[in-house]
Amino acid sequence: MKNLPSEVLDLQTNPSVEVLELFHGAYNLNYHVRVNGRDFLFRMNIEQQSGLPDQIEYEFRAMRFLSGHGIAPKCYYLDNTRQHFEFGILIEEYLQGSYVSLIPEEMSEIAELLVRLHTLKPVDFNPTVWRDPLVDNYNMVCRDLMEYEPKKSANKKVIKLTKQFLKKIEPTLSEHRALYVPDGMNHTDLAIDNFIHTPEGLRLIDWEKPRLDDCSYDVCCFLCEPCQLWCTTETLSQQGHEIFLEAYIRVIKRNSELFRNKVSIRKPLVSMHWILWGANRLCDTMDNLMAIELQDVQEMKIPRWERVADPRNVEKLLETS
């Protein structure tokens, strides 16, 4: 950071740099850095969550597209040359504030933030697109299972139950796929610790894999229990669920019955993806398949992976879908 041109961060030459904290993400190392009294996030991309070879550049372009809309942090600098580090680097705004919780009183603000995102047109940004969203969602779960099944520590019960789930839900694809169109920009990773309360309002962080999709994806992601269980042992109450849906539908001005139906159909698939994501990361931790830079901290997250990957979560989907 001392060697950056001064205009990149609008700082004087030879600034003083302090590294204050380290936040380990599932795929990134995030350093809270203070330069001449100004706070920044120094983000080092270790693994490619999106599967894109240029993930750090994609994240940078997404955040530049979102600049000025009051949705994401400002992004100042990209370095994917790997001349100074083995990994791609982003320098972005450090957001000081608390995470959201799952109390009903927070639901309307979260819904309004998502509507702002979902109604943006992707100008000067070419996002990944799911053109057949419901089928694409199903195919993603199939890929998750294919990745999981051969792993040494894979839970045989999770595999068996997931196959039952896919068999049960497959007939609904042809019946309902026409309801879903790529009509909005989706964040796709709406764990509650990706929402930050700031003095300027609510913001979303971690823009590794946004895409153009049917807006029901983000809604299902936020509402699905496995996503909530990644951050907390608590799940959203039925009251909170209803407040969120009512606020979202009111602000985005969609047909309430149709949108609720789309969420009901799609949420089990989104939930299944989260369960298998947790199951895969749990195996990667147990079998030492993660990048060495992430191994120690991921062991601390084993209880979180276990909550998400619990076979009872799949059993619940089989009962309700």
184 and 70 assigned to the same domain = no
In a domain, 2, yes or no: no
**pLDDT for residue 99 is more than 80:** yes
Q: Determine the 3-state secondary structure of 203 from DSSP.
A: strand
pLDDT, residue 123, reads 86
The pLDDT tens digits for 126-135 are: 999 999 999 9
Q: Which of 93, 123, 150 is the last residue of a domain?
A: 93
Distance, CA of 296 to CA of 76 (rounded, Å): 29
Q: What pLDDT, on the 0 to 100 scale, is given for residue 87?
A: 93
Which CATH number do you get for residue 260? 3.90.1200.10
Say which residue, 296 or 88, is predicted with more confidence: 88
State the residue range of the domain holding 86.
17-93
Provide the mean pLDDT of the chain: 94
In a domain, 59, yes or no: yes
Judgement on whether residues 77 and 213 belong to the same structural domain of the protein: no
Are residues 258 and 214 both part of a single domain? yes
Q: Say if residue 47 is in the same domain as residue 146.
A: no
Q: Are residues 83 and 110 in the same domain?
A: no
pLDDT score of 12: 76
Nearest to 87 by CA among 296, 293, 290: 293
Question: Between 51 and 112, where is the model more confident?
Answer: 112
More confident residue, 288 or 251: 251
The pLDDT assigned to 254 comes to 93
**Final residue belonging to a domain, choices 93, 117, 147:** 93
Structural domain count, the chain: 2
Q: What is the mean pLDDT of residues 83-106?
A: 94
Please give the pLDDT value at position 122.
87
Total Cβ atoms within 10 A of residue 210: 28
Tokens of 310: 């619990």
Rounded to an integer, the average pLDDT of 262-289 is 96
| Average pLDDT score over residue span 183-192 | 97
Residues 258 and 264: their CA atoms lie apart, in Å, by: 10
Residue 259 contacts by C-beta under 8 Å, 6 or more apart in sequence? Answer: 216, 249
Query: Based on the domain organization, do 154 and 225 belong to the same domain?
Result: yes
Asked whether residue 8 is domain-assigned, the answer is: no
Q: Which amino acid is at 64?
A: R
Domain limit, last residue, from 93, 115, 147: 93
The number of CA neighbours under 13 Å toward the Cβ of 306 is: 6
Q: Domain of 23: which CATH number? A: 3.30.200.20
> Does the pLDDT at position 14 exceed 80?
no
pLDDT digits over 221-242, tens only? Answer: 999 999 999 999 999 999 999 9
Instruction: Supply the pLDDT for residue 98.
Output: 95
Query: Would you state the structure tokens that stand for residue 191, as one six-digit string?
Result: 């764990």
More confident residue, 11 or 250: 250
User: Is 12 contained in some domain?
Assistant: no
Domain membership of residue 47 (yes or no) is: yes
pLDDT tens-digit profile of 281-309? 999 999 988 888 887 777 788 999 999 99
Beta bridge partners of 90: 43, 78
Same domain, 122 and 266: yes
Rounded to whole angstroms, the Cα distance separating 218 from 184 reads 10
Q: At residue 112, what are phi and psi to the nearest 5 degrees?
A: -65, -40
Give dist(CA 293, CA 279) in Å, integer: 20
- Whether residue 313 is contained in a domain is answered as yes
- C-alpha distances in Å from residue 155, one per residue of 252, 287, 308: 41, 13, 13
110 lies in the same domain as 33: no
Same domain as 137, residue 36: no
**Lowest-pLDDT choice from 49-58, 71-80, 229-238:** 49-58
* One domain, residues 73 and 209: no
**What's the half-sphere exposure (Cβ side, CA atoms, 13 Å) at 215?**
22
The Cβ-side half-sphere exposure at 109, using a 13 Å CA radius, reads 20
At residue 106, the pLDDT reads 97
Residue 4 lies in a domain: no
The angle, 0 to 180 degrees and rounded to 10, between the axes of the packed helices 256-286 and 292-300 is 110
Please indicate, yes or no, whether residues 142 and 194 belong to a single structural domain of this protein.
Answer: yes
Query: Residue 7 falls within a domain, yes or no?
Result: no
**Are 120 and 199 part of one and the same domain?**
yes
Across the range 65-88, mean pLDDT stands at: 94
Strands in 128-129's sheet, in edge-to-edge order, are 128-129, 211-213, 184-186
Distance CA 70, CA 297 (A): 31
pTM: 0.96
User: Cβ distance 235 to 98 under 8 Å?
Assistant: no
